[in-house]
Amino acid sequence: MNAERTNSSKVLSEGYKGIIKVCGMRDAENIREVENLGIDWIGFIFYRKSSRFVSQVPDYLPEKAKRVGVFVNETKENIIETTERFALDFVQLHGNESPDFCEEICKEGVRIIKAFSIEDSFPIETVKEYESVCDYFLFDTKTLQYGGSGKKFNWEVLSHYRGNKPFLLSGGISPEDAESIRQFQHPMCAGIDINSKFEISPALKNVGLVRQFIDRIRL
């Protein structure tokens, strides 16, 4: 496993200091190029219905960036097997997994990111149930699919989150959102998750576009 990086828990107006996660990657050389931009976490999707599904271990896996495996309503056995095969640092549960299920995975020594779909209001009570069994939360846009929709939710609803678990902001973040990311502030916002708006095609990221975005938010 890679050593934990130190990251700010806020997005500061003078420049973004938090975690940058690029999700939905698959191509070995593309992974290497994106990692070399200084990305903190790289996500691999193990949901078979996703156009970014990873079926086999790429010829190159991140050596500096954290490895995050994204699962949707998968079995405990398959999650643990995949975690070991890809040497994952985090498991992101993006389906309807219960707090008890999260706790079972935790007991296997796996660090968990639990994703929640956000629509018009913030699910305060539901999120609260997971605080003791997860390391991070991820707030994404509610859609018929499980993430990767390229759609944004109203970030203002996150003002209702008063929990003590750090979260990643996700859901349709695009290159045009650089200034909004720089201005967004929440005491528990640990980072951002980018994906479909930075792609040439599913699972293939536009490295130049990612570089420009990072340069803009880290000014």
Q: Which of 21, 73, 71, 61 is nearest to 43 (CA)?
A: 21
Q: What is the dihedral of CA 185, 96, 41, 133, to 10 degrees?
A: 80
Residue linked to tokens 């539901």:
126
**pLDDT score of 15:** 72
Residues in the chain: 219
Q: What is the mean pLDDT of residues 174-178?
A: 96
Q: How many separate domains does the chain show?
A: 1
Tokens of 154: 């109203």
- Look up the CATH number of the domain holding residue 198: 3.20.20.70
* pTM, to two decimals: 0.90
pLDDT tens string 62-115: 999 999 999 999 999 999 999 999 999 999 999 999 999 999 999 999 999 999
**To the nearest whole percent, how much of the chain has pLDDT over 90?**
85
CA distance 204 to 200: 6
More confident residue, 195 or 11: 195
pLDDT tens string 36-53: 999 999 999 999 999 999
Question: Is 1 inside a domain boundary?
Answer: no
Half-sphere exposure of 19 (CA within 13 A, CB side): 29
Catalytic residues: 23, 140
Question: Is 44 inside a domain boundary?
Answer: yes
Residue 140 pLDDT exceeds 80: yes
Question: Is 30 inside a domain boundary?
Answer: yes
CA distance 32 to 211: 13
Residue 13 pLDDT exceeds 70: no
CA distance 128 to 126: 5
User: What radius of gyration do the chain's Cα atoms show?
Assistant: 16
**To the nearest whole percent, how much of the chain has pLDDT over 70?**
90
Residue 5 pLDDT exceeds 80: no
Residue 164 pLDDT exceeds 60: yes
Q: Are 77 and 100 in contact (CB under 8 A)?
A: no
Question: Is 104 inside a domain boundary?
Answer: yes
Residue 148 pLDDT exceeds 60: no
Residue 151 binned pLDDT confidence (cut-offs 50, 70, 90): confident
Beta carbons within 8 Å of 100's beta carbon, 6+ residues apart: none
Mean pLDDT of the chain: 91
Helix (H), strand (E) at residue 182: helix 178-183
Residue 196 binned pLDDT confidence (cut-offs 50, 70, 90): very high
Q: What are phi and psi of 146, to 5 degrees?
A: -105, 80
Residue 147 pLDDT exceeds 70: no
Which range marks the domain in which residue 120 is found? 11-217
**pLDDT score of 116:** 96
Question: Is 89 inside a domain boundary?
Answer: yes
